[in-house]
Amino acid sequence: MRNDLADRGSDETARIDVVYEKERVTIHPTQYGSGRISGKLRLFLQQGSLFLSWEPSEGADCLSTSSMGVELEKYRNLYTIKALPLSDVRFIRRHTPTFGYDYIIIVLSSGLAFPPFYFYNGGIRELFATLKQHVFIIRSDDDPNVFLVNDFQDPLQKSLSSLELPGVASVANAMSRQNSLSFTGSVDEARHGEASSMSHYGSKQKHKSNDPGRDLSIQVLEKFSLVTKFARDTTSSLFRDNSGAHAYGRQQHEYVFDNKASDTHKNQYIAPEKESIPSAPLESDALPLVWGKQRDRPLSVEEWTAFLDPEGRVMDSKALRKKVFYGGVDHVLRKEVWKFLLGCHEYDSTYAEREYLAAMKRAEYEAIKSQWKSISATQAKRFTKFRERKGLIDKDVVRTDRSVPYYEGDDNRNVVVLRDILLTYSFYNFDLGYCQGMSDFLAPILYVMEDESESFWCFASLMERLGANFNRDQNGMHAQLLALSKLVELLDPLLHNYFRQNDCLNYFFCFRWVLIQFKREFDFDQIMLLWEVLWTHYLSEHFHLYLCVAILKRYRQRIIGEQMDFDTLLKFINELSGQINLDRAIQDAEALCTIAGENGASCIPPGTPPSMPIETDGGLYVQQDEVL
């Protein structure tokens, strides 16, 4: 079958031969099966190289309301794949659930992944048959559902990769791709398609001796910060570099909001920076003037006592949450107050009820922990999932918050407790298991609770809200980034239009902010304050998204003035770590949340994390093999 596909651009003059084509190949951009976008999947040859494309059909295919169809229509271009070289594909995972439709997940060599493609009219068998005719593809030894594509390396690339020298390996990768691709016009377009269509799989490249198809649920967030070639070269600073941010250019200090600047502008709403930008003046906001309330002092012991009746019940939970939202909690009270904010304790529970519950939960925790503690070495040899999860946890805990005195030093008992809790949780919630980033959430909780059982149950409660962030299909992250995109469109149309013009509407540059709730952006004390503010759900249970908007809006003039593309924007956002004034950011986010009102709330679909997940017969954390 032959098709000139002339509309792909004037540069693409070579003949294109379509070797595979299938209609009704569908993606689900939200975490609900009711919203979907159908399209046409193609494999085509151009100048001897094989490419994959997926283009949405006219209109959005939606099973529920027409309004949802309109919303999906607005974001169809986010998922369009113009021309993906198969030489960039690392592996394809095929899923054949007992109930529901077959689907595939395409993972690139960079660690990125496209959303799952569901084949409503069949055709996966023919797809793989066509692939085998044109590329080298083999089934993984460790997972029969994983098919490795182009699973070979030239000697130079293999040697450089084994040295784990990111800069050198990237050059070799670029040379390898240049030699394998002969087309020109669609290279940049394909790269933009990757950036705007993919979900994130990534922080660190796994060692080459590890098969990437071992367990997608474990790998998904082990590489979650990889977005482009630039991100591959800077992943250590994106996710696991705890040494703080580096200066972005010679004048970075001019854009840092220090405490003095914050005090000076407390009565201004997101004032533009005093900076010189060589560009035309930007249009002013068309939003009403609203101020965030000045930050208050933390909840004190006296105030906390006043909230409790003689039997220990919280008499006014809304007033308590408001107090915490505006001032945080004195550190000596966090051990008690956090259990309420996280839902471990009911606000109307008594001292006696909480004491009884703690004893029951302690016994339950020990029972769960004993499940993995009793696994012998002989059993472990036959328990691949356990070995892999334990290995990943062992690697993560020794590099989590080691600059904090509570976790620093060799043979630190607290690091061992951190590991034990995470391993126990992987047995408590075996479907979700463990993914990189979870240790970042647990470390402050253990630091505050200083008790293994209490830390476990607080962490488990937090994962009830945020567990969808770590689902292997990443629908939870997609839902939040989609909501963030709509909030920016509502609250800062100028910035939204800039992102659209520069293929940044996927908002992957905010991925780390959302995934681990700004853990890398603030120091340890500040993150405890921020998290207890977020946990109040006082103004919105998605206040973290308004915080994202506030920070982006604060730096809007620089982003637009310097004409940042995706790579530059990702670098800039990363280097804001340690440079953001937290109090001012919360004030700005409060103002934006007030301005948005119901319109802002309507931008966020029900069930979007960190709201409580919707229970199904399959449990709280439905993985991709569940029927939609």
Give the burial class of 515: count Cβ atoms within 10 A of its Cβ; 0-12 exposed, 13-18 middle, 19 or more buried: buried
For residue 44, list its beta bridge partners.
18, 51
For residue 314, list its beta bridge partners.
308
CB 259 within 8 A of CB 581: yes
Answer whether the bond into residue 610 is a cis peptide, omega within 30°.
yes
Question: CATH assignment of 475-603, given 1.20.1090.10, 1.10.472.80, 2.40.180.10, 2.30.30.760?
Answer: 1.10.472.80
pLDDT category at 564 given cuts 50, 70, 90 is very high
Distance CA 62, CA 38 (A): 9
pLDDT of residue 353: 96
Question: Where in the chain do CATH 1.10.8.270 domains reside?
Answer: 350-467
Q: Which residue has the tokens 């956090």?
A: 338
pLDDT exceeds cutoff 60 at 623: no
Question: Which token pair is 424?
Answer: 């126990």
37 or 282, which is more confident: 37
pLDDT over 90 for what percent of the chain?
50
From residue 168, how far is each of 110, 159, 164, 171 by CA, in Å?
A: 15, 11, 9, 5
Is pTM beyond 0.85? Reply is: no
**Architecture of the domain delimited by 16-59+69-158:** Roll (2.30)
pLDDT of residue 72: 58
pLDDT of residue 151: 59
pLDDT of residue 474: 81
Distance CA 278, CA 284 (A): 17
Q: What is the pLDDT of residues 525-536, one digit of tens each?
A: 999 999 999 999
Beta-carbon count within 10 A of 309 CB: 10
pLDDT exceeds cutoff 60 at 162: no
Mean pLDDT computed over 137-148? 84
Mean pLDDT computed over 415-421? 97
pLDDT category at 19 given cuts 50, 70, 90 is very high
Question: Which token pair is 615?
Answer: 């229970």
CB 437 within 8 A of CB 469: yes
Question: Where in the chain do CATH 1.10.472.80 domains reside?
Answer: 475-603
Q: Which residue has the tokens 């909230």?
A: 307
pLDDT exceeds cutoff 50 at 208: no
Q: What is the pLDDT of residues 384-394, one digit of tens each?
A: 999 999 999 99
Question: CATH assignment of 350-467, given 3.40.930.10, 3.40.50.2300, 1.10.8.270, 1.10.1740.10?
Answer: 1.10.8.270
CA 508 from centre of chain: 8
DSSP code for 510: G
Question: Which uninterrupted H or E stretch holds 388?
Answer: helix 384-397
Q: What is the pLDDT of residues 477-494, one digit of tens each?
A: 989 999 999 999 999 999
Q: What is the pLDDT of residues 349-391, one digit of tens each?
A: 999 999 999 999 999 999 999 999 999 999 999 999 999 999 9
Mean pLDDT computed over 169-198? 37
Question: Where in the chain do CATH 2.30.29.230 domains reside?
Answer: 16-59+69-158
259 or 302, which is more confident: 302
From residue 9, how far is each of 12, 50, 147, 184 by CA, in Å?
A: 6, 18, 32, 11
Distance CA 150, CA 447 (A): 46
Question: What value does the mean pLDDT of the chain take?
Answer: 76
pLDDT of residue 47: 85
